[in-house]
Structure 1
Amino acid sequence: MATETDDRGRIYLPKELRDRHGERFRVVDLPSRIVLVPVDDDPIQAVRESAGPAFEGKSIDELRDDARTAIAEESRRETEGKTDT
């Protein structure tokens, strides 16, 4: 799907996408692209539910640090031209 910004920089997302992914998104600026990531009402609970027992016993700070490390590593690989996608 392709879309364009309007004169104020807004992006239109079709109703089907909003129904499936929600109304709130985090904009992630990577070296080669921008990614919209849906934001759940309770993001930590959503991560715990999707990951199952993998994150049991980890604090919010530990989960945040792990996520930041993973994003930094992905950005580093992408900058060096070594992406998996």
Structure 2
Amino acid sequence: MSVETDSHGRLYLSSELRQKYGERFHVVEYEDRLELIPIDENPLQAIREAAGDAFEGESVEELRESAREQAKKDAEAGFDRGKRAVEDSDE
């Protein structure tokens, strides 16, 4: 299936596609293509269903705080790797 944009850059999807995938999409840009990822009407519920009972009993705030802590650890680890790489290149 192919679609074209109108003069304003809008894409029009058939009613069948909208019924199947919804009306909201996240656009992912790659070097050679774009991808439309459907956004569930209730994203948190979709995640809970996909993850099963992995997040059972955790509030949105608890999940958010846990994600922040993990992101901070990941950022610090990346910073440390970059710092070591610079130090190694100076030797």
Same fold (TM over 0.5): yes
Q: Percent identity?
A: 44
Q: CA deviation at 1:32?
A: 2.1
RMSD after superposition: 2.6
- Which residue number in structure 1 is paired with residue 38 of structure 2? 38
Task: Kindly report structure 1 stretches of 4+ aligned residues shifted beyond 3 Å.
Answer: none
Provide the residue aligned with 2:18 in structure 1: 18
Superposition deviation, residue 50 in structure 1:
1.9
In structure 2, relative to structure 1, the CA distance for the partners of 1:33 and 1:60 (3 Å cut) is: farther
Using CA pairs under 8 Å that are at least 6 residues apart, name the structure with larger relative contact order, 1 or 2: 1
Aligned length, in residue pairs: 65
Q: Larger radius of gyration, structure 1 or 2?
A: 2
Q: Deviations over 1:21-76 (max 9, x none)?
A: 111111111222111111112212111212323x42671462xx78xx9xxxxxxx
**Residue segments in structure 2 that go unaligned for 5+ positions in a row:** 75-91
Picking from 59, 62, 67, the partner of 2:63 is 59
Could you list the runs of 5+ residues in structure 1 that have no partner in the other structure? 70-85
Q: Between Structure 1 and Structure 2, which shows a larger proportion of helix residues?
A: 2
